[in-house]
Amino acid sequence: MIAACGVSTAEQQTNKRVDKKPPAQIVSDKPKIIAFGDSLTAGFGLAEKESYPYLLQERLKADGYNYEVINAGVSGETSLGGLERIDWVLEQDNAQILVLELGANDLLRGLPVAKMKENLETIIKKAQAKNVKILLCGMLAPPTMGAQYQREFVAVFPDLASEYKLAFLPFVLEGIALDPKLNQADGIHPNAEGSKVLTANVYKALQPILKK
């Protein structure tokens, strides 16, 4: 199973999307959930209102939560790219939760697992230093990467979640991967229906750390 997450030429998305350059500070007294990731978060190939951060915002509103969701997804992003922009992303006013969804592009490019873990760990430490809670989203690796790489890659996410006591979603594409009805033609990125399942996965894992 190939892990999802995009290409560097992916479509630009809106929905309060944070780009590679620092955005204007979003002024709001609402507590913020920062959806921080790659093309799965950015909503590659989808309309703005089909992206998971947008759908998550709607779900939170419907259930009486007063959070504002910020889409900080960048298609093609690696863990290193995330590390390079995490400082100013965390400067968002009243940032309270970080949904950390990175690593799939490291996998697709065959980048060293140890370096990916180091990058993710640094992101986690930076967020925790600002008292931002974290939901870590895990990813799986296909056997084609080799048994050792596969084992090491898959282990990174639960290991970090355990060490840093994070909320944890073991596989962000649970119920979506390999289902042609829920993916775009590339077989990697969720379509509009798949995005709904992705939103449900994230929301379920988020609920224990949400406050009304």
The answer to whether position 10 is within a domain reads no
By residue range, what is the domain housing residue 171?
Answer: 32-209
pTM over 0.85: yes
The answer to whether position 119 is within a domain reads yes
CB 67 within 8 A of CB 101: no
The answer to whether position 47 is within a domain reads yes
Cα dihedral sign for 147, 181, 38, 28? negative
pLDDT digits (tens, 9 = 90+) for 125-148: 999 999 999 999 999 999 999 999
The answer to whether position 77 is within a domain reads yes
Q: Indicate the residue type of 42.
A: A
Q: How far apart are CA 154 and CA 147, in angstroms?
A: 11
The answer to whether position 8 is within a domain reads no
**pLDDT-flagged residues of the chain (< 50):** 1-26
pLDDT digits (tens, 9 = 90+) for 89-124: 999 999 999 999 999 999 999 999 999 999 999 999
Tell me the CATH number at 189: 3.40.50.1110
Contacts of 69 (CB under 8 A, 6+ apart): 16, 32, 33, 35, 53, 54, 56, 57, 60
Give the total number of structural domains in the chain.
1
Name residue 37's beta-bridge partners. 73, 101
The answer to whether position 136 is within a domain reads yes
The answer to whether position 91 is within a domain reads yes
Contacts of 61 (CB under 8 A, 6+ apart): none
Provide the annotated active-site residues: 39, 186, 189
Nearest to 171 by CA among 122, 125, 104, 112: 104
CB 134 within 8 A of CB 90: no
The answer to whether position 176 is within a domain reads yes
